[in-house]
Amino acid sequence: MYNPLAQHTKYVRKRASLTSMLPSKDQEPKLTREGANKCFGCGQDNPIGLRLSFRQENGRTTGCFVPDEVHQGWPGLVHGGILFTILDEAMGYTFYAEGTNGVTARAETRFRRPAPIGEPLLIEATVTKRTKKLIEAKATMTFSDGRTVAEGKALMYIVNNHSVE
């Protein structure tokens, strides 16, 4: 019988072995969002979430994700919605590192090639423009050999103290 939690646990172990692809721990600390432990994208306590983690270095947000069978759309390929979610989460972390919270107002993703299940995906995101109420960010997802999987850009609405006006 299929057990999604067991599959997810297997995926988490596999992902943990790829930490060498991230910046070393003596660089800036891994980013975590206080109170977001149930977030589908980054919540470490969400049993069905992606449990993404990112690091900030030189104005760039970086991370690594290894998709498992529970993330597939077509057999053997990662669902595009999962890829979009990863890019969106990375773009959100670009300004969270500065102490700013925000939500996605508009996003665009360009899928360059399919992503096979089990293939490590490297994510990099940066802020491209900032105004008083809005932040523009971009993100790229690649395979470890540098081939681009997807690119995204987003307009994020600044929301501090969880209030939307």
Rounded mean pLDDT, 59-87: 95
Structural domain range at position 88: 4-21+35-162
Domain assignment present for residue 29? The answer is no
For residue 37, what pLDDT is reported?
A: 79
User: Which amino acid, residue 148?
Assistant: T
Rounded mean pLDDT, 33-37: 63
More confident residue, 145 or 10: 145
For residue 121, what pLDDT is reported?
A: 97
Domain assignment present for residue 67? The answer is yes
Domain assignment present for residue 113? The answer is yes
**Mean pLDDT, all residues of the chain:** 82
User: Which amino acid, residue 18?
Assistant: L
More confident residue, 58 or 6: 58
More confident residue, 68 or 16: 68
Residues recorded for the chain: 165
Residue 65 DSSP SS3: strand
For residue 57, what pLDDT is reported?
A: 87
Tens digit of each residue's pLDDT (9 = 90 or more) over 122-134:
999 999 999 999 9
Domain assignment present for residue 30? The answer is no
**Which domain CATH number covers 78?**
3.10.129.10
Q: How many CB atoms lie within 10 A of CB 158?
A: 17
| Backbone torsions φ then ψ of 15, nearest 5 degrees | -65, -40
Question: What radius of gyration do the chain's Cα atoms show?
Answer: 15
Domain assignment present for residue 27? The answer is no
Q: How many domains is the chain built from?
A: 1
- Residue 156 above 60 pLDDT? yes
For residue 36, what pLDDT is reported?
A: 66
Contact by Cβ (8 Å): 73, 79: yes
Domain assignment present for residue 70? The answer is yes
> What is the spatial distance between Cα 3 and Cα 6, in angstroms, rounded to a whole number?
5
Domain assignment present for residue 42? The answer is yes
- DSSP letters along 5-17, please? HHHHHHHHHHHHT
Q: How many CB atoms lie within 10 A of CB 4?
A: 12
Residue 88 DSSP SS3: helix
Domain assignment present for residue 26? The answer is no
